[in-house]
A and B are shown apart, each in its own frame.
Chain A
Amino acid sequence: MAGCRIPLVLLACGSFNPITNQHMRLFELARDHMHSTGQYKVLGGIVSPVGDAYGKQGLVPAQHRIAMAKLALETSDWIRVDEWESQQPDWTETVVTMRYHYNRVLQEYQKSTTAHKFSDKKPTATSNPSVQLKLLCGADFLDSFKTPGLWLDEHIEEVCGHFGLVCVSRGGLQPERTVHESDILSRHRHNIFLVTEWVRNETSATEVRRALRRSASVKYLIPDSVLQYVHQHNLYTQKSEERNHGKLLRPLTKQATNPVSSLDD
């Protein structure tokens, strides 16, 4: 094989409330895994924090979540933070965010490989394969496909079938089982890359917020620069955790077949 690896960009969507070492581990693990398949070459990673309109409980303002992610990734030479999603007026479906980033990535890639002419996305024997964008996520994300009203079927099709997923789990057969138990996911299992993190590490943003509320240490769970920012701005208190309490998640109201008005109307 003459080194015709598919160029790949990994996109992680999520609250990043706050970003943790575990989030950044996802990228590292995913990159290693995709490289080891022999078929991909990871060009970059994008962290795309969700907008405030998502309405998740405890979500602090996007400006802070973006600032913290930038601090965390300052020294990374391949992962960057993107604010587009967080700047949209309403919550943006994951598939819309993916389409946006795919177009940008494709443009950048085409510019940097002007030697080759691209007619479409299909790789041919004589031209380099076109760049791909896949969604990077944890195993809990796969489970979220099951939550009623959270995803439109055609969006799941596009995310898994057209783009593809790289799903990092903490061990156990749970993601395999989730794929198996879903017809849509099973159909696209060749495009769902399951990466096992053998080291159980249950650090989560939820735990970090909990510890911060209780004035317990979170050092070494998040970068020092992020920790400093959290203290400077006094983020993550009992009060911040109560934000959006009782509110329906935006996807549920936006995508409902019988549109419901959100509880705070």
Chain B
Amino acid sequence: MVVGKVVSSTSHESAEKRLSVLVVDDDPVIQKIHKMMLTNKFKISDTQVAENGKQAVDLHRCGAIFDLILMDMEMPIMNGVQATMELRAMGVESMIVGVTSHGLDAEKQTFIGAGLDDCFAKPLTIQTISSLLQLIAD
């Protein structure tokens, strides 16, 4: 897996990018927005979507590897907390960032405690995604 260099620019484009991102969210609106941000603004061609935590875990069991996982907290079948715990138990070392509309600190702390690298309010901003991708590339 080749990790590309993120070059910050006013248009948020980078010269060469080989990063892969997994968007895990059951909300089709959020899926579309985050996917568009990643593919259009940051030219990340390998952007995949999982509709729930189980799909995300299954992808990894089939050998998929991602540089960044954007994980929603509340999803049917398997929520973000459970999915994050399972992925970490499987040895997944990717950056996993929680995305939640929960305002309560206690719930966020539970989510972070499951193994997240960070947690942000939904929807993510372009600036936040830019910072995350820069962290991965560095």
Q: Does A pair with B?
A: no
Residue positions of B touching A, CB distance < 8 A: none
